[in-house]
Amino acid sequence: MRRSKRGGIGRFVKRFIMTILAVTLMAAGVAGFLLFTMSGNVWLEQLLSYGNEVSFRAEGLDLRFEQWADSLETRFERMIPETVRPFFD
């Protein structure tokens, strides 16, 4: 019995959909394990603490950049002569 191309494509699409469904269900199972078990909670707490640490470092960098920009602005203001400053305000 000869198979048609349409049947082959249909089987491929069916296998593809089933594979996507299986991967989605496995991901949901892993997410459930991580959310509802003690080891999962510890793992999530570690992830959150790392995220907080990165956030604090980013805020520190932002503060340093603002301080650097302010000091640079102050230097440029000092370089402008007093007679010319009213034109820059």
Number of domains in the chain: 1
Q: Write out the residue range of the structural domain in which residue 16 sits.
A: 6-79
Q: What angle do CA 30, 44, 37 make, to 5 degrees?
A: 55
Per-residue pLDDT of the chain (89 residues; tens, 9 = 90+): 555 556 778 888 899 999 999 999 999 988 887 777 777 678 778 888 999 999 888 888 888 989 999 999 899 888 888 887 777 76
* Cα 85 to Cα 78: distance, rounded to the nearest angstrom: 10
Residue 1 lies in a domain: no
* Cα 69 to Cα 88: distance, rounded to the nearest angstrom: 18
Residue 14 lies in a domain: yes
Residue 25 lies in a domain: yes
pTM for this structure? 0.41
pLDDT of residue 40: 66
Retrieve residue 13's tokens: 């699409």
* Cα 49 to Cα 12: distance, rounded to the nearest angstrom: 44
